[in-house]
Structure 1
Amino acid sequence: MLKTDKKKICIVAISLSKGGAERSVSMLTHMLSRIGHEVHLVILVNQIYYSYSGNLFNLGISKDINGDTIFSRLKRFKKFRDYLKVQEFDFIIDHRPKNNYYRELFYQKYLYRDIKKIYVLHSSKQVLNTKDSLHRFIKIYKSNYVNIAVSNYIKNEILKANGLDNSLTIYNAYDPKWIDSDKISENPLNDKNYILSYGRIEDEIKDFRFLIDSFFKSKLWEKNIFLVILGDGKDKEELKVYVEQLKCSDFILFYPYTTNPFPYIYNSKFVTLTSRYEGFPMVILESLSVGVPIISLDIKSGPNEIIIHKENGLLVPNRNVDDFAKAMISLFQDEKLYNHCKNRASNSVEKFSINNISRHWEQLIKHAQ
């Protein structure tokens, strides 16, 4: 165990549901507990798909029982405030999306007052990236002890670009033990040769339709290669209908969300990312950590801070179906390139391991005044 002065820390998140940001919250509870801090996790929605360390205060249970009326919401906020007062935390680490000024003002002035605040920004699409109430949001962020960006793009182009010098980057982490997941080497698709894409199926953000079009254009399906889309979301059924009209429909397979995607990742030829925007995509980190190359669009933000082009995967600079199809063909046909990327995949992300990222959090908390 890493050693540091013990602090009492409250991590606040919407939930521990199915996304990469939620997995990173789970990882942070384990990291801070491992360092030796007393960790409390407060979630606002009763969804728990990932493990956590420390004490859980699940406000989502009250929401499920009493509904989400204004009166019941105020009661939950009072319970939350009473909990913070009784526990006397040294730090609040808040992972919620920040998109409503008056809500954030309420959190700052009522819930979090007199506690050192650390806000974590997980997405490159933040209110600070727009002009809507920008100056008021900046005042809130300036009052924080520090603002954590999960990528250098978010730190430099969103936070510091708006005068928030109390900002630094701490990347999301991966756990080397993922490679030891139960039966990771057993191909869940038997002997099928496949490309994988996974995540929340919301096409406005993840753009799975672009991936499907690129796969169709690549004609890899004519060589008995499958595209597997793993996950759930509001656009899944619509995408299935779209796929049914394509000649390659038999080679595009949909599988439900799983808390353990690693057998699917490990046995894929490579993983793809075609999102319109990200923060620090865990899909890339998870895949490379178990030795699987990536093909990703070079979007804002994150991919070009993890992927080294033609070293551990391929970065496609433009959202162009032909270009992405060519990248997929290249990683299949160029055996030398593929083996080069695969052999370097896991070592290329060593700096993002849970041990290394823990040290960044340790230093931040240790030097807090």
Structure 2
Amino acid sequence: MLSDKGFNVHLVTITNTIGYFFNAHLLNLGLYKNKRNDLLNKMRRLQIFKTYLKVQEIDVVLDFRMRRSVIKELIVQKFLYQKVKPVYMVRSSNLDYYFPKSSRFTKKLFETKPICVLTEGIKTSIEDRFKFKNVTVIPNAIDLKKYKENYAIPPHIERRYILASGRLIQGVKQFDKLIQAYAKSELPQANIDLRILGTGATKNALKVLAKELKLEKHVIFEGFLQDPEPYVANALYTVLCSKFEGFPRVILESLACQTPVVATDCPTGPAEVLDGTNGILVPDNDFKALTQAMNRLAFNEGLRKQFKASCRSSICKFEAAKISICWQHYLNQVYESY
């Protein structure tokens, strides 16, 4: 979006892992990381980054890092960001990812710096916790033009299914609780499968759980998919029950594929997208209500069609063309305010 608006964009990665397409110049600091990752090596990478900022004449840095260390942040602000204008990005409702535990140090480090968040819920949390007045909301965007009206169902899929997506890691997405809610639902008996997209450290444990519940034939792990749209578009619905989120793209992408969503009202994101016309929102962490909602939408074809007809129109306000204008105005404002 920023490139299309005429910004000269540079992408800086800390690890040597590039998992998606991008339109930017790339500085891959992971290439300079040694096996020991010792202090001298860290300082070398910091100097490489600082030199890059100077040579490329970078004006604004969108800082997506986790920022829990006071000492590290002092070094970054005083050494690395001397000549640039940082914007501190917060992409999750779990504020402990992005700010030190000490509120006193957090205020000293970030109180006068621009902070950009994904949702009004995150903004409110930061304002309540730190009393900051410098928080701006710019949500995730979706380019609806890139999504087809119809996608062919993947050839190996023979039964109806619901879909869940995300990294298979401990605690956050709560896939274990989702599998248990699915087990208590009426879907397995109706031969409606649960397909899970994604990979991660808990995959084997989740497979064991599905086997213990005698659902190994119904809970299907598809792994990581570069192009998941055919799976999303042909699902009865997408289900999300995270412990916390920022602004889940899974919901936007599902609605862009005209697939309704069943979600728990976790902090934050689902309540700002699911408006009653495009899916079902149940109370946070209420898995009994989630099971009931899963049953309701799976067996009510009329309701699914009603939601399906509204999916794309319900997210027009998140269209990339509109969000890119928000970014353009915001970055110009940041540049002029320093």
Q: 1:50 maps to what in 2?
A: 20
Match of 1:120 in 2: 89
Moved over 6 A (4+): 128-131
Counterpart among 103, 107, 113 of residue 138 in structure 1 = 107
8 Å contact from structure 1 (residues 149, 171) kept in 2: yes
User: What is the SS of the residue equivalent to 1:314?
Assistant: strand
2:228 maps to which residue? 261
Separation in 1, partners of 2:330, 2:109: 20
Q: Equivalent residue for 2:43?
A: 74
Superposed, which structure 2 residues align to 1:204-215 within 5 Å? Answer: 204-215=171-182
Residue 179 of structure 1: aligned partner: 147
CA distance in 1, matches of 2:73, 2:98: 16
Query: Cα distance, 1:128 vs. partner?
Result: 8.2
Q: In structure 2, give the amino acid aligned to 1:38.
A: N
45-54 or 331-340, larger mean C-alpha shift: 331-340
1:98 aligns with 2:64: no
CA distance in 2, matches of 1:335, 1:128: 41
What SS does structure 2 have at the residue aligned with 1:109?
helix
Measured at CA, do residues 66 and 324 of structure 1 come closer, stay the same or move farther in structure 2, by a change above 3 Å?
Answer: closer
Write the distance in 1 (CA, Å) between the matches of 2:138 and 2:155.
Answer: 34
Letter in 1 for 2:71: Y
Match of 2:117 in 1: 149
Aligned to 1:243: 210
How far the C-alpha of 1:325 sits from its partner, in A, is 1.0
Question: Does structure 1 residue 349 correspond to structure 2 residue 319?
Answer: no
Match of 2:166 among 199, 213, 216: 199
Structure 2 CA distance, aligned partners of 1:262 and 1:96? 29
- 1:168 to 1:349, Cα distance in 2 relative to 1, 3 A: same
For residue 249 of structure 1, give the secondary structure of its aligned residue in structure 2: coil
2:164 and 2:329 mapped to 1: Cα distance? 35
Partner of 2:271: 304
Alpha carbons of structure 1 residues 352 and 193: separation in structure 2 relative to 1, 3 Å: same
Distance, in Å, in 2 between the alignment partners of 1:42 and 1:52 is: 12
Note the C-alpha offset of 1:296: 0.5
Listed as ranges, the matches of 1:330-345 within 5 Å are 330-345=296-311
Residue 72 of structure 1 aligns with an amino acid whose one-letter code is N
Once residues 189 and 148 of structure 1 are traced to their aligned partners in structure 2, the CA distance between those partners, rounded to angstroms, is 42
Which of 268, 277, 282 is the aligned partner of 1:316? 282
Say if 2:92 and 2:247, in contact at 8 Å, map to a contact too: yes
Q: 1:282 to 1:235 in 2, by over 3 A?
A: same
CA contact (8 A) 2:67 2:99 kept: no
1:21 is matched with which residue? none
- Could you tell me whether the CA contact under 8 Å between 1:99 and 1:126 is conserved in 2? no
| Distance (whole Å) between structure 2 residues aligned to residue 185 and residue 341 of structure 1 | 20
What is the CA–CA distance in structure 1 between the aligned matches of 2:139 and 2:152, rounded to whole Å? 28
| Secondary structure in structure 2 of the residue aligned to 1:250 | coil
Deviation digits for residues 195-220 of structure 1 (CA, Å, limit 9, x no counterpart): 00011001311100111011111121
AA aligned to 1:324 is L
Among 184, 189, 196, the residue aligned to 1:217: 184
Residue 17 of structure 1 corresponds to none
- 1:17-53 CA distances to partner (integer Å, 9 max, x unpaired)? xxxxxxxxxxxxxx11000011111110111111111
TM-score w.r.t. length of structure 1: 0.86
Match of 1:158 among 122, 126, 129: 126
The percent identity for this pair of structures is 34
Please identify which structure carries the higher helix content: 1
CA contact (8 A) 1:314 1:327 kept: yes
The 1:128–1:228 alpha-carbon spacing in structure 2 relative to 1, beyond 3 Å, is: closer
1:67 positional shift: 4.6
Work out the number of aligned pairs and report it. Answer: 335
1:107 Cα offset (Å): 1.0
Q: Does 1:35 align with 2:5?
A: yes
Q: Which amino acid aligns with 1:75?
A: R
| CA deviation map 1:126-182 (0-9, x unaligned) | 1389882112112222232x210111111112246522111110001112244149x
Q: Return the letter of the residue paired with 1:49.
A: G
Contact 2:198 2:222 in 1 (8 A): yes
Distance in 2 separating the partners of 1:112 and 1:356: 30
Separation of aligned partners in 1, 2:308 and 2:54: 50
Runs (5+) with no aligned partner, structure 1: 1-30
Distance 1:129 1:51 in 2: 25
> Quick one: structure 1 residues 70 and 129, their matched pair in 2 at CA, closer, same or farther if it must change by over 3 Å?
closer
Which amino acid is the alignment partner of residue 147 of structure 2? I
CA contact (8 A) 1:201 1:234 kept: yes
Amino acid at match of 2:73: E
Question: TM-score, normalised to structure 2's length?
Answer: 0.94
Q: Secondary structure at the match of 2:199?
A: coil
